[in-house]
Amino acid sequence: MKTYIPKEAEIVKKWYLVDAEGKILGRLASKIAQILSGKNKPIYTPHLDVGDFVVVINAQKVKVTGGKEEKKIYYHHTGYPGGIKGIVYEDLLKKKPEMIIREAVKGMLPKSKLGRKMFKKLKVYAGEKHPHQAQKLEKMEL
């Protein structure tokens, strides 16, 4: 028996719509990461991008557990000496709710060229509206 490796032309990429309203952040992010990497498909190959596109709506209504609203801090560095900055989950949810889901999913993808390619297939929106009606989105319950 030979191992089946799909050709680039054989890979069919679907578009999924995920509603984040009332969902737990970590569980939602892990499911999205699986879809982006293609681990939900029988033709999954670790060195190929066989994953699908994911559009997430209602990012501002995602939930966290264990008091993380006040405790969880998102850090970034400005590039200057001593330039580490942090923002609490509550404030980031008000300012940029899309970034919360993006950061959670990004941490679950491979740290490589392939992981960056997978991450580009994630589209996150704070509210109900999104510009991807033409892609024939399949609603997905996670």
Is residue 112 one of the residues assigned to a domain?
A: yes
For position 114, which CATH number holds? 3.90.1180.10
- Asked if residue 107 is part of any domain, the answer here is yes
The whole-number pLDDT of residue 137 equals 92
Number of compact structural domains in the chain: 1
| pLDDT band (50, 70, 90) for residue 141 | confident
Q: 43-102: per-residue pLDDT in tens?
A: 999 999 999 999 999 999 999 999 999 999 999 999 999 999 999 999 999 999 999 999
Chain mean pLDDT for the chain: 95
Is residue 49 situated within a structural domain? yes
Collapsing DSSP to helix, strand or coil, 42 comes out as: coil
Query: Would the pLDDT of 1 be above 90?
Result: no
Residue that the structure tokens 């996150």 belong to? 124
Strands 53-57, 73-77: pairing is unpaired
| Cα–Cα dist 125/104, whole Å | 15
Domain with 49, as residue range(s), is 11-64+96-133
User: Is the overall model pTM greater than 0.85, yes or no?
Assistant: yes
| Burial classification of residue 56, based on how many CB atoms lie within 10 Å of its CB (0-12 exposed, 13-18 middle, 19 or more buried) | buried
Q: How far apart are CA 122 and CA 54, in angstroms?
A: 5
pLDDT of residue 78: 97
In the predicted structure, residue 3 carries a pLDDT above the cut 90? no
Residue 3 located in a structural domain: no
Would 43 be classed as within a structural domain? yes
**Domain-embedded: residue 42:** yes
69, part of any domain: no
Q: What is the pLDDT of residue 142?
A: 81
* 117: in domain: yes
